[in-house]
Structure 1
Amino acid sequence: MTTPEIRGAVRDRSGNPIPNAEVHLRPPADDSTEARAERIERTETTADGRFSLGLPGEAASPETRATVEVVLAGEVVSEETARVGDDVTLEIEAPRSAANRPTPTAIPDGGMPSFSMETMMKPMSRTMPHHGMAAERGMLNVPRTPSHPGHGRFGRLFPYLSPADHPPEFLAHVGRDGGPMEESDDPDEQSDDISVSSGIVFLGQFIDHDITLDPLSSLSRQNDPDALRNFRTPRLDLDSVYGSGPEGSPFLYQRAPMPGTPSSEMDDPEKFLLGENDAGDFEDLPRNSQGVALIGDPRNDENLVISQLQHAFHRFHNAVVDEIRDAPDEEVFEEAQQLVRWHYHWIVLNEFLPAVCDTDVLSDVLAERRYFLTERDDEPYIPVEFAGAVYRFGHGMIRREYDVNDSSGSLPLFGQDMANSLGAGFQPVSSDNVVDWRYFFDINSSGKVEQSRPIEPKLMAELLNLPFFQMAEGPDFAASLASRNLVRGRRLDLPSGQAVARALGEDPLSNQQIGFDKLIHDYNGQAGSGQQVSEETEAPLWYYTLGEADELADGEHLGPVGSRIVAEVLVGLVETDPSSYHVVQPEWDPTLPTSDAGSGVYTMADMLDFTFDYTGTV
């Protein structure tokens, strides 16, 4: 059955489209006051000013009317009553410049400046595609009814929970540069590192890119901006590595030598093409003449470590091809690809999740999923509670500096090039900064591995003042990753952390337990009298995830709420993937060489040692 909807456009008085305008759908004005106060649906206009709002199933009658409202800075600036199937145009008084640069609302009593949601979030999509900067296609228009799966790329685990309605100004203040979420520069005041190796954070980023890859053409994205019809199914299938395979993505792979031409080191069509660095070694991603990486997902070149991890998976596949080449099976590429994917699935389930989740919760999820209930015949989706909040826990684990090899010294997170930092990204990797993975995973007990920071509601100062964000494109807070996470959670209509805890049957932590009360008090001390935030206001889901881990696990791993959501989603994506070992061969164990043969243990350290052969090296 087709979902009944009202469509339309938002334009200024000159007829120009207004993108990113917030549009609400409510019962019509002549209904009861109580009914009118209850919003049916919410969306934002696309680049051409268009919107589409679906009505609940019971509103299927062509005579059903509803009120469409345009909301700017929390105020209704235009409204129109329409019937199902109508295409309406709403005009607003809005200067074109307002879509590009937000203007603070005047505060008579000297309080905090305020910004509308559309002006706060629009600049977030204008930077290079760094991790966590822009919302994924389809994430920003996820309805509460009907519940998922089967409605698009994204869905909701808890569609019945009311959204937490924090003032945008408050969220911007909480995550600002120099604010209460910034880790101290004083080493004596910083939290101790945890037992989780630093490579787990980058593996988590790699996993995120794998399940959120959106490889469609720009035309497909324009025709389906909400990813309701045309989208790649989210799976842990390494499409970010393999692309569409040798036939669909030939630029990723080596070519067989042409007849009459000499052979080279890069002429095996079953293998990935590798890139040469400045020393002539094949230690980088392949790149075009402008240095752009030729890979399945351009986000995997955004910093030195993730770029080298993408390279490591290319090398891993090539090593597996060599390992199985003498086997009687002629389908070498397909067999190698399956082995790589199955060992990757094993690492996600048996190394990554145990490293970041509470073990009791993970065991319970492996026995039975209770909330992410997609089955093998369903189209999987990504819950917005996961993608827009909980899975962003890794931001708190990022270190200020990293050693990447014996001679690199400590490299800061950000810099103008990857010669003196982890880099602004999207650049060739120099021979001086080739990653020695023993600094990121415990390979052969080398003693070189660095540890992660704890999961807590504190981020490194560098993450609250991102250098690659152009400040001219947005308000001051917009360069803060913390503010972005908090504001995006509000834009996604996410429930509070305490509400999710109650929905999961957990006793919710109080604001005092997770330190959120101090953030409210800090804000109220600077805000005007009309902008005060109630002390009873519950915490945003992302902040709650960090605070719960800090309070209940000393930051070593996620708490019960964070663990449940992360485990349910990643376990569910593997369990419902028809090509995973869990489906094809449930009793399968890793078959590639491991440091502990016969134990059933296989880790990233084993994968990387097999690929780069660190045995016997110092």
Structure 2
Amino acid sequence: MASATSSIPAGYTYLGQFISHDIVPKTNPRARGRTVSPALNLDSVYGNLSSDELARYFDDEGCFKHNGQPFDVIRTHNKALIPEARNDENSIIVQLHRQLQLLHNRIVKRLTNVTDSVAKIVLAKDIVTTLFHIVVVNDFLRRLLDERVYNAYFKKTRQYILALNAPLSSVPIEFSLAAFRFGHSLVRNNYTFSKDPTVNFTMDRILRRSTSAGLQENEQIDWSLFFIETSQKANSIDMSIDVGLGDIPDEGNIVLINLNAANTLKLASGDATLSYIKQYFPQLALDVDLFRQAPLEIGEEAELYRAYQVLLANFSQRRLPLWLHVLHESRHSSNPFNALGKLGSIINAEVVRSSILHCYANRSLKENQSMMAFLQDAPPLQRFLEQTRESIPHTMLELIHFLK
């Protein structure tokens, strides 16, 4: 049963997945990968900047190495030359990865007052990371979170659950196994990459392409088809999943994966998590009007519900698992099926805000300070803007145009 179409441009599905790859470790225990930090510091793009990685990823000028194509990353020995292998498992994600490489290269070329290539790389990374944070806060989160939750966390900042400005030791499982997996409901079964209407890419083709050969010309994405209001849309945030996620390579059925993972780790149900917040964080509940949030009963007729029924004997409670709760409560959000409800918004706001602040160890976000003001005042970005008189991109579409 496929989701109805939302008003969310399709690109935000994959911007969310890109964020997840940067801060959430790979869940497949058989797969090896880099050590993932909970900080949203773009180490999925930059690596840890060790001497070996500097030589592997960057040229003598401090730019990312490339193969001459603006849409694909460089490859060697039949593998993408990038720190995060998951970013090459999907032909949309790898092109988002390439856009951030291009942003880095553009900034490096404007840093004419810095002569040392390593210093250029480090400074450019700081600037790119802050620009990315601005887009995440102003565009991605503002679009997808409940309005009252967004305002409480990002316009008039207060500390609620996670300590404000304290380093995040790990990404909470409530986020990684449930709340941020709302993106799975957004996935369409097919996408248009270019203005040629005869060329469509199914999820099967997007996930099962041969990575050794790299992207082909006809796979190059026209980003205006992904990040503007008139572009193709993501599916609705609801309790249904498109067929393309029924059999993910090396993973399996995403519904069973998500439900089993949460059950194995005894993740609290959505209703239990809601009750916990109301009891122990009453100011948060008041600020976002959480006390009106009624328990959500099981009863949605969709693949997710039916899969849950199959697994029901393994669950200790008959309330919706947190992942399903987050999906189901969207119908009661300020923008039904196009934004998260309050509980999903709270968990995602808490974790993404902390992941961002983790990157600014020498600065503190003050209570009631706007997150956007905090980010725009970051010293490396401010110095760059003063020297170049560039304007700040605030949305993904502006960021893409910034590169032209």
Normalised-by-shorter TM-score class? 0.7 to 0.9
Alignment of 1:450 with 2:232, yes or no, is: yes
Equivalent residues in 2 for 1:435-446, closer than 5 Å: 435-442=221-228
Distance 2:342 2:304 in 1: 24
TM-score normalized by structure 2?
0.80
Contact 1:246-1:252 within 8 A present in 2 as well: no
Which structure exhibits the higher relative contact order, with contacts defined as CA atoms closer than 8 Å and separated by 6 or more residues? 2
Aligned residue in 1 for 2:51: 247
**Distance verdict in 2 for CA 1:321–1:274, change over 3 Å:** same
Distance 1:521 1:213 in 2: 27
Alignment of 1:235 with 2:20, yes or no, is: no
Equivalent residues in 2 for 1:210-609, closer than 5 Å: 210-212=22-24, 233-245=37-49, 247-256=51-60, 268=61, 270-276=62-68, 281-289=69-77, 291-322=78-109, 324-327=110-113, 331-366=119-154, 367-373=157-163, 375-376=165-166, 378-407=167-196, 409-415=199-205, 421=206, 423-424=208-209, 426-427=211-212, 428-442=214-228, 447=230, 449-466=231-248, 468-469=249-250, 479-505=252-278, 506=290, 507-512=292-297, 515-516=299-300, 537-552=318-333, 553-578=335-360, 586=374, 588=376, 602-609=394-401
Letter in 1 for 2:147: T
Structure holding more strand per residue: 1
- Cα distance, 1:602 vs structure 2: 1.2
Contact 1:501-1:561 within 8 A present in 2 as well: yes
Letter in 2 for 1:382: V
Contact 1:400-1:460 within 8 A present in 2 as well: yes
- Cα distance, 1:250 vs structure 2: 3.3
Contact 2:21-2:44 within 8 A present in 1 as well: yes
Distance 2:237 2:308 in 1: 26
**Distance verdict in 2 for CA 1:364–1:405, change over 3 Å:** same
Distance 1:199 1:602 in 2: 15
Alignment of 1:201 with 2:13, yes or no, is: yes
Query: Residue by residue, what CA displacement relative to the aligned partner does 1:188-232 show, whole Å, maximum 9, x if unpaired?
Result: xx52x2222111111111111111258xxx9x99xxxxxxxx965
- Cα distance, 1:233 vs structure 2: 3.7
Distance 2:302 2:308 in 1: 10
SS at match of 2:191: strand
Contact 2:175-2:348 within 8 A present in 1 as well: yes
Contact 2:71-2:221 within 8 A present in 1 as well: no
Structure holding more helix per residue: 2
Query: Residue by residue, what CA displacement relative to the aligned partner does 1:371-425 show, whole Å, maximum 9, x if unpaired?
Result: 122643x45321111111111000000111111122372211113xxxxx45446
**Distance verdict in 2 for CA 1:274–1:601, change over 3 Å:** closer
Distance 1:212 1:510 in 2: 29
Residue correspondences, number: 368
Q: Percent identity?
A: 24
SS at match of 1:194: strand
Aligned residue in 2 for 1:475: none
Contact 1:401-1:411 within 8 A present in 2 as well: yes
Contact 1:393-1:455 within 8 A present in 2 as well: yes
Aligned residue in 2 for 1:112: none
**Distance verdict in 2 for CA 1:195–1:335, change over 3 Å:** same
Contact 2:259-2:321 within 8 A present in 1 as well: yes
Letter in 2 for 1:492: L
- Cα distance, 1:601 vs structure 2: 6.1
SS at match of 1:402: strand
Contact 2:239-2:302 within 8 A present in 1 as well: no
Runs of at least 4 residues off by over 4 Å: 516-527, 530-534, 579-585, 589-593, 597-601
Distance 1:234 1:325 in 2: 29
Distance 1:287 1:435 in 2: 19
**Distance verdict in 2 for CA 1:383–1:328, change over 3 Å:** closer
Distance 1:524 1:437 in 2: 36
Contact 2:241-2:304 within 8 A present in 1 as well: no
Superposition RMSD in Å = 3.6
Contact 1:411-1:422 within 8 A present in 2 as well: no
Larger Rg computed on CA atoms: 1
Letter in 1 for 2:177: G
SS at match of 1:349: helix
498-507 or 242-251, larger mean C-alpha shift:
242-251
TM-score normalized by structure 1?
0.54
SS at match of 1:304: coil
Distance 1:485 1:213 in 2: 15
**Distance verdict in 2 for CA 1:287–1:566, change over 3 Å:** same
Letter in 1 for 2:7: S
**Distance verdict in 2 for CA 1:249–1:284, change over 3 Å:** same
Distance 1:606 1:210 in 2: 22
Query: Residue by residue, what CA displacement relative to the aligned partner does 1:407-444 show, whole Å, maximum 9, x if unpaired?
Result: 372211113xxxxx4544634101121112111112xx
Contact 1:401-1:412 within 8 A present in 2 as well: yes
SS at match of 2:73: coil
Contact 1:301-1:426 within 8 A present in 2 as well: yes
**Distance verdict in 2 for CA 1:531–1:515, change over 3 Å:** closer
SS at match of 1:414: helix
Distance 2:375 2:299 in 1: 45
Query: Residue by residue, what CA displacement relative to the aligned partner does 1:246-283 show, whole Å, maximum 9, x if unpaired?
Result: 72303543444xxxxxxxxxxx3x1001135xxxx453
Letter in 2 for 1:515: G
Query: Residue by residue, what CA displacement relative to the aligned partner does 1:109-162 show, whole Å, maximum 9, x if unpaired?
Result: xxxxxxxxxxxxxxxxxxxxxxxxxxxxxxxxxxxxxxxxxxxxxxxxxxxxxx
Distance 2:328 2:318 in 1: 15
